[in-house]
Amino acid sequence: MEELQNLYKLQEIELQLEKLQQTQKSLPVIAEFKKLQAETVRAKEKLLRAKSDFAELCKQQKRLEHSLQRNEEEQKAVHNELYKGMNHSPKELEQLTKKAEILKDEQREQEEKLLDIMEKRDEQEKNINTITKRYQEMRGSLLQLQKSGKAELQEIRSQKEKLLAERQLLLQQISPALIDEYRKRRKQFHGRPVVEVAGNVCSGCRVSVSSLIKSSLRQGGKNIRCENCGRLLIMR
């Protein structure tokens, strides 16, 4: 009979543990923490994307600057050809003039592109600064929240530890077969497969138990179940 009493205690402890688990999960500070954590992760991803966009713009800028430099050198060469006073045929002159015009056009086009890229780069730089600031603020709030949540969590954890220790002791005093049986029926009876007979009533289903069952319980009978609901019975 004592084994059953211990099983009953075990059941109550496991119910308390589940309740604490639930409380812990639904702590406002935990929900807030999770939300902020997700936002922080998103901000970090945004920051990484902005940085990679910025790096790409820098590359484009460099490429254009090089190309503009080449263009300038080519223009100088053509200019020299034209005005060095060398003798060119009219056809050669025409070709050189045409080349100079094309180079000039290319230069204008590239300069416009360069300005556009520099503008975008500046924008992206500002963007990075804004996101970085926001990200750092979030990290700060996250740490703050972690601190304030710690006290609440600590309280729950210490209660849980105490219950877990009690549970461990009880488990050593109950046969594995009975534990097995209890585990199997836990779900069916919403965590309470073992109930007391209080007065003449099964406290699981509130139906009166027969006098036969009562006397069996009084005589220390094991494995006695409520005739109505099938829960394992113990005497109060």
Could you tell me the smallest distance in angstroms from the CB atom of residue 9 to Zn ion?
A: 20
Decide whether 49 or 236 has the Cβ nearer to Zn ion.
236
Check: CB of residue 160 under 8 Å from CB of residue 168.
no
Could you tell me the smallest distance in angstroms from the CB atom of residue 228 to Zn ion?
A: 5
Give the count of beta carbons closer than 10 Å to the beta carbon of residue 103: 20
Instruction: Determine the angle formed by the axes of helices 2-25 and 90-171, rounding to 10 degrees.
Output: 150
Decide whether 13 or 192 has the Cβ nearer to Zn ion.
192
Kindly list the residues in this chain that would bind Zn ion in the complex (CB under 5 A).
202, 204-205, 226, 228-229
Decide whether 128 or 205 has the Cβ nearer to Zn ion.
205
Could you tell me the smallest distance in angstroms from the CB atom of residue 179 to Zn ion?
A: 21
- Sequence-ordered list of residues with C-beta below 8 angstroms from that of 63, at least 6 positions apart, any chain: none
Could you tell me the smallest distance in angstroms from the CB atom of residue 206 to Zn ion?
A: 7
Rounded CA gap, 169 and 164, in Å? 9
Hey, what are 130's tokens?
Answer: 């804004």
Decide whether 170 or 217 has the Cβ nearer to Zn ion.
217
The residue type of 22 is: Q
